A and B are shown apart, each in its own frame.
Chain A
Amino acid sequence: MNILLNLKEALQSLNANKLRSLLTILGIVIGVASVIALLSIGESAGDSITGEIESIGTNVIYILSGNDSDDVTNPKDLTLQDAEALANSRRAPEVAYVAPVISGGSEISYGAEGRETSISGVTPDYQFVQNITMAEGDFISEAQVEGRSAVVVLGPEIAQNLLGRSSGIIGSAVRIGGYPFRVIGVTEAKGGSAFNNPDNNVFIPISTAQTRLPHGDSPNAVQFILVSVAQAEDADQAIQQITDVLRSTHRIPPRSPNDFSILNQQDFLAVAASITNVLTIFLGGIGAISLLVGGIGIMNIMLVSVTERTREIGLRKALGARKKDILLQFLTESVLLSMIGGLLGIALGWAIALVVSQIATRSGTPLEITVTANSVLLATLFSAAVGIFFGYYPANRAASLAPVEALRYE
């Protein structure tokens, strides 16, 4: 049997029941669209997180108190003394800059405008570790750290939100936790995601943070220490040096586990990848369920169609149609239904992904959504498979009808 003729005949028969065919196709359209849209959104969210982590740079190492992989009770806080020890170039020669950070939530306000945000107490080296460039003014200086100055460096976005502008605001006074702070600088806009937007950062001298921000019990405790390595390829060596230094300052006996954790970009990427994988599987699963429902719709309609056309099947068999001719005829119809639905679904899913990306961008979390060739291929193959899988039973039922019974069917 000629394939083209088969297709033409299948189209004619679907065309004869327009509304029914459209509704069946709609089921597949929704299924495929949700697979495409949800997978794209999931992948894009993952890319966004990964991009965020990659922007940290491969030469930056995070040091945190505590150790999740070994059973450590009462880990010592990281302290300013630890940071000083790490900055000693004889003890840790591969370490370039050390930036201890005290961070805490507090209210920042300007006039009547106020918001709760995370404030970071930092040293001047923080600027070099994170490669911060200034749009105007200066970053926090050594003198301001020593003098416990009430000065603040703002990200452009929080400046815009708070003061209504992000330039020409040097010297303005904002309040943090009720105390007045003088704005000394605004950082360059970097853009960011929903998860960590550097344009929303608020920096004050670390010494000021010790007294003004709520943090750990010990006055010298810091939340974490950022370290930058001169050469990214020396990171492993640097990590070894940091470990040695901290084990000695924390007086950890040999063969006891570390009471701190050292994380670099690779570690964060690994964590993020496992999170986004779960996210993608979850979203894809939801899409797959709707595709399954669409497939059951096809099966249902094909069963009705087989019953309606029993006499036609009988006639075709009387004229010499073999079992496989009838099987092919009905399979062509169901695959056609699912493929049309699949193609429309790809278009709709793409549109949904674009709309979501627009909404995300408008609401301040730029999400670059790309529909990958992978997900299109997956959706196409999957919808064809749905057509074959759910079309096979009805088609086989049609093909197995006894010609006498089928011809006699009223």
Chain B
Amino acid sequence: MPALIELQEIVKVYPPALLALDHISLRFVEGEIHALVGENGAGKSTLMKVLYGLAHPDRGRVLYQGREIRFASPAAAIAAGIGMVHQEIVLVNEYTVWENIVLGAEPVGWFGQIDRPRARRQVQAIIDRFQFELEPDARVADISVAARQKVEILKLLYREVRVLILDEPTAVLAPQEIPQLFAELRALRDQGHTILFVSHRLEEVLELADRVTVLRRGRAVATLPAAGTTRSELAERMVGRAVLFQSRRVPQPSGEALLTLAGLRAVDGQGRISLHDISLQVHAGELVGVAGVEGNGQLELVHAIVGLLRPNAGRIVVAGTELTAAPILARRRVLAFVAQDRGRMGGSLSASVVENAIMTHHRLNRRLLRWRGWLLDMRAARRFTAELAARFAVSTPALAAPLQTLSGGNQQKVILGRELLLDCPVILLDQPTRGLDVGSIEYVHDQILAMRAAGRALLMVSASLEELFLLADRIVVLHRGSLVADVPVEQTTVEQVGRWMLEGVQGDG
């Protein structure tokens, strides 16, 4: 079969020193669903950006329908028939579905006015043709995330795009919404569209795609037919070694309540309730997982506990200490916090490994201080960091090297090590494995389970249900700022939690 798109020896370098694409050669065939999988940083997104005109290769050629192309911008790519749906959805909330779809390419009448009836008719025709379940007159502000994603796809179909690039389309969806998206994507393929999609959820990839290309550290290591390939085969090629997908959690009795949230309520700047009477207890030796579709109060919950957000009502008690209105330092004496965002909340990427490792310790650990805390003992700080690096298997060029020169997994080990060495009774984990590769995820999970075994109380927010079911003793579900479920993990299923995430019903909801 002739290739619709052919990549020849594509090289892309990101300064300072990231070889994002390393001589990649690939062929995409017309009318196929082609998945790109790989760990974070493997080059999936960069490859898509090169196709879409958002990044320009430093070497190599892109052939489209046999001709060499080089898009100056996404608009040029769309005009040529290649469109991309990003993870972040950017729509005008106040406009209706059809208005958003035609925005920027409106059909106009004789006097340059927008021909609204015709525009709406055209949108309805596309919706019917591809059998999307979508109401063209609904306001975007009122529709679900899944529906907004459909609007993004329809925007491209309206512009008569033949190749659709989807970047992690299922990341924002609840489990129940995924089959419908897949059905619609298959319908698109059957009508001759070519779909490239990026994902790191292997089971979805195998379910949807016709062919799968595995990227590892900037190189295309294999292209396989999805039929007959297994998840562990893919994972092995992604990581370069065998990976286990089993829970290593051992049941253990839990102790006294170490973290208590009582009637926590927060109202945002516009008067919307972001946390609605959250009450929750986490006991010693217990890991409670917080599930929820992104944007349902997880951020506010974490911020309220660490002290970035002052709740309007309710109490936070950690290990018998009232922390509701305490300054951040007072919280950090009893609360370790692993942030989801290494460069923003978890560390300073331009600071050295030592400087990142001693944060918070520099106020609490006498060993690092001289002269009543006025001076830092830099030698002790280096020794402390060396111990941390040894204990948490951090591989770093030097302790004085900037944190950004470490891989994501090693950065997270520095941060995790720093927080766990604080020796706090309560540990708050906000997506602790976000953006990590499979090997690092395993390591972080082991450390988390070790803390649970040591009798700490752990509260973990995660976007991955798989991770929650792997580690948690209890799962609570956040929906529109309320806790709608609180169940032991043995008494529920991924499907049920997914339903709560979406609909928020259990009893009175």
Asked if A and B are interacting partners, one says no
**Taking beta carbons and an 8 Å cutoff, which residues of A are in contact with B?**
none
**Taking beta carbons and an 8 Å cutoff, which residues of B are in contact with A?**
none
